[in-house]
Amino acid sequence: MYRPTTLLSLAVVAAMTASANATITNLAYNDYNTSVDGWTVRDTVNGNVSYFTPAWNASGGVPDGHLEFSDVTPGGYVFEASQDFTGDFTAALNIGGVSFDWKANQVQAGKRASVIFWRNNVRLWASSNPDPAANIWHSFDFTFTMNFAWQIDYGTGAQLATMADLGYVLGGVTGMDITGETWTGMSETTWLDNPRIYMRVPAPGALALLGIGAIAGVRRRRVA
């Protein structure tokens, strides 16, 4: 006969094992190993939008192959994702997120690395906290959960997003941007590598353990 404490331990171990054994499935991914993979830079000055092709570097990324762009106007710019990052990504809600590797040679106070999703004119975004340090690669990972302070703007101002908001935007993404501009003026250079939207899928053995853990949890409640 199992003791309640033993059952609880089994349930905890099963959950931890399932998480550790989860398989990462990419729903959208560009590694820039051979090209810019369809990404562009969108620059806006006084409402006027211009597009540029970022430089592609074969080496020096995370580990190799990455984008680079040096500011050319006094406006703000972002890296605009390829068409791979449009569509329905609700499968990643609660079990996935968006990640990328990013670097800037100078970062002004208050300028943070952000990822922005669009569903037509609705904007959803998450930002690094605190400000990223300059001249080093940062690996950012924003999960599609309430663990991050996702913000949303339906056209009436920014507000804290709910899971329903995340589901709405991720259900029909029309575009995705990643921060480029990090300094007022035209003096910074920004690098980008490995953008991906992903989900974690427990391996079959881990799913079985989760089932055992769930049964153990039920038995523990009955014993209690």
Edge-to-edge strands, sheet with 48-52: 48-52, 40-45, 76-80, 175-179, 114-119, 122-127, 151-153, 158-160
Per-residue pLDDT of the chain (224 residues; tens, 9 = 90+): 433 444 434 333 333 444 457 899 999 999 999 999 999 999 999 999 999 999 999 999 999 999 999 999 999 999 999 999 999 999 999 999 999 999 999 999 999 999 999 999 999 999 999 999 999 999 999 999 999 999 999 999 999 999 999 999 999 999 999 999 999 989 999 999 999 999 999 877 544 444 444 444 434 344 44
pTM to 2 decimal places: 0.82
DSSP per position, 20-87: HTPEEEEEEE---SSS-TT-EEEEEETTEEEEEPPEEESSSSSSS-EEEEE--SSSEEEEEPPGGG-B
Give the pLDDT score at 22: 87
User: What are the phi and psi torsion angles at 207 (to 5°)?
Assistant: -65, -40
- State the pLDDT at residue 208: 47
**How far is Cα 79 from Cα 38, in angstroms, rounded to an integer?**
11
- CA 19 – CA 202 distance, rounded (Å): 7
The residue type at 49: V
Computed over its alpha carbons, how large is the radius of gyration of the chain?
A: 21
pLDDT at 203: 76
pLDDT for position 57: 98
